Amino acid sequence: MTRSTTIVAVAASAAVVTAALLLLGSSATGSPPGGELAKMSNQGEPVNPGPGQRHELQNVGARRAWLLAARNARSFYRLSRDDGSVCYAVNSSTDEDRIGNTVCPLTPTSFPTPTAPVLDLSVFESTSHVAGYFHVVAAQGFAADGIVAVALLDQRGRTIARRRAADNVYAIDVPPGRVATTVAAYDADGAEVFRVP
Amino acid sequence: MAHMHKHLIPTLAAMTAALAISVAAAVPSSASAAWCWPTCSTSGLLGPGTSTYNGCWNSSGEVCSGWNTWSANGIDKGCYPICDYGGYTQARVLYGFENTERIRGFYTDRALATYVYPYQLWMGGYLRAQVSWAPYTDGRTSYTSWIHVGAV
């Protein structure tokens, strides 16, 4: 076997191993494809649901819930359905026997991903009938491990509030007297990787 | 052509069945839903010209229920017209509730199922459940959404 043949053989073997690892959905380091933007480490604490929570779980076909975090008077939940799919919910009411607004991504692998590292459940409002004239009432949502901060921006793109994303959740109240129109999320390098709307 | 039909018809039948199952699981059931769009067993295209012609906040680009003391609004947004592995559809909507003073809700351009409660939007009393077409402002083409809506 010549030297060049050996190099080609080694390269081909490496390519096959790499392809196999990608097909298995993980890299050689054990990270999912997409790295920190495609991973949520916080598994949460199991919840013993009350009657109101059980009713809201049933509404989305879920049976079990885990509390990921409580932040800014909101509770953030991960829900599991019998078919193995996962939903996420935020309870922003004062009634603790609630699960809250619930979003169920298409598949368990739909969130988080590098193109969707944030599952935003921020409330937007308009009091004008002019199309597109919306502002943020409250920012809240779920974020991948790779999201380190979330900010509220005004109409000119200036930051009016910025908070660290921790435990894979974030919650930001709009400062009194300010108007936020955008929610933006940033990675460890400070790069904006997601925004709503 | 006959070859294509041979495969297309079973495929469409399977897609229809899958859609019906996902719709049934995601939004208020036909038996319990007090309002559905376009019907309680189908999905429809929500775009800039869509309207329920019943006095919604926006005269077009929105579907809304009648006035009621709604307890929940659910949507099932399908993988259409595009759909990557994260469910991105390039077709954004704002879903929630409205009254005579304001419209409130959440944005999404992902294929997903959701359930939103008025009290979580700090709203109550007589409301309309609504879903609005929400075009992008960053230059992206905004497609119409394939969606099913149900409120109870």
CA separation, residue B143 to residues A165, B16, B114, B120 (Å): 31, 21, 20, 28
| CB pair distance less than 8 Å for B116 and A101 | yes
Pairing of strands B62-64, B44-46: unpaired
Best residue in B121, B133, B142 for a mutation probing chain A (most A CBs within 10 Å): B121
Write down the ipTM of this complex.
0.82
What's the whole-number average pLDDT of chain B? 85
CA distance B97 to chain A (A): 10
Between B86, B117, B137, which is nearest A110 by CB? B86
Distance from the Cα of A16 to chain B's closest Cα (Å) equals 23
What's the rounded mean pLDDT across residues A179-185?
Answer: 98
- Residues of B in Cβ contact (< 8 Å) with A116: 86-88, 110
- Of all residues in chain A, the one with the smallest CA distance to B134 is A132
Q: Residue B122 is encoded by which pair of tokens?
A: 């700090």
Q: Is residue B31 classed as helix, strand or coil in its secondary structure?
A: coil
Q: How far apart are CA B26 and CA B19, in angstroms?
A: 10
List the domain range (segments joined by +) for residue B43: 2-151
Give the tens place of pLDDT for each residue, B39-80: 999 999 999 999 999 999 999 999 999 999 999 999 999 999
> To the nearest whole percent, how much of chain A has pLDDT over 90?
74
**A116 touches B: beta carbon within 8 Å:** yes
pTM of the model as a whole: 0.82
Of B72, B104, B136, the CB nearest to A123: B104
Q: What is the largest CA-CA distance in chain A?
A: 76
Of A95, A121, A124, Cβ closest to residue B94:
A124
Q: Which two tokens stand for residue A173?
A: 């109240």
* Nearest CB to A125 within list B85, B103, B120: B103
Q: Give the tens place of pLDDT for each residue, B20-38.
A: 344 444 565 544 569 999 9
* Domain count within chain B: 1
Write out pLDDT tens, residues A20-64.
Answer: 433 333 444 445 567 999 999 999 999 999 999 999 999 999 999
User: CB distance from A76 to chain B under 8 Å?
Assistant: no
The C-alpha atoms of residue A131 and residue A163 are separated, in whole angstroms, by 29
Residue among A90, A101, A113, A155 with most chain B CBs within 10 A, to mutate: A101
Q: How far apart are CA B120 and CA A112, in angstroms?
A: 24
